Amino acid sequence: DAKTTQPPSMDCAEGRAANLPCNHSTISGNEYVYWYRQIHSQGPQYIIHGLKNNETNEMASLIITEDRKSSTLILPHATLRDTAVYYCIVRWNYGQNFVFGPGTRLSVLP
């Protein structure tokens, strides 16, 4: 599975959009980009995934660059409950398992 690079931490003001970047420059054509988050003391939670096109669901939007070497997870109106570690993972959709890196620790500030 391709490796990803994320900033170790970010801050965001409550009510503002949180934009979390992820670099995956060695991604291959059949690898998907997945995002999970882990709120303190809980298990990781699936957020969204995509291959080439931008994706949106009730939790977030995923923007993937045209060359697919990077992506951005957008939380449109961050709340205090969005404070968590966010993991960007690249893998085949029919691959083996998810390999979690250190992620980005997002702090939403009042």
Partner 1 sequence: DAGVIQSPRHEVTEMGQEVTLRCKPISGHNSLFWYRQTMMRGLELLIYFNNNVPIDDSGMPEDRFSAKMPNASFSTLKIQPSEPRDSAVYFCASSLALAGGGYGYTFGSGTRLTVV
Going through the chain in order, the beta strands assigned E by DSSP cover 9-13, 18-23, 31-38, 45-50, 55-56, 61-64, 70-75, 84-92, 104-109
| Piece in contact with partner 1 (CB under 8 A), picked from 7-15, 38-46, 63-71, 74-82 | 38-46
- Asked if 86 is part of the footprint of partner 1 (rule: CB under 8 A), the reply reads no
Q: Under a CB-based contact definition with an 8 Å cutoff, are residues 15 and 78 in contact?
A: yes
Selected from 6, 36, 68, 71, the binder of partner 1 by CB under 8 A is: 36
Q: Under a CB-based contact definition with an 8 Å cutoff, are residues 98 and 32 in contact?
A: no
Site string for partner 1, 89-108 (x = CB under 8 A): ----xxxxxxxxxx------
Nearer CB in complex with partner 1: 15/95: 95
- Asked if 43 is part of the footprint of partner 1 (rule: CB under 8 A), the reply reads yes
How many angstroms separate the CA atoms of 34 and 109, rounded? 25
Q: Which stretches of the chain bind partner 1, using CB under 8 A?
A: 34, 36, 41-46, 49, 93-102
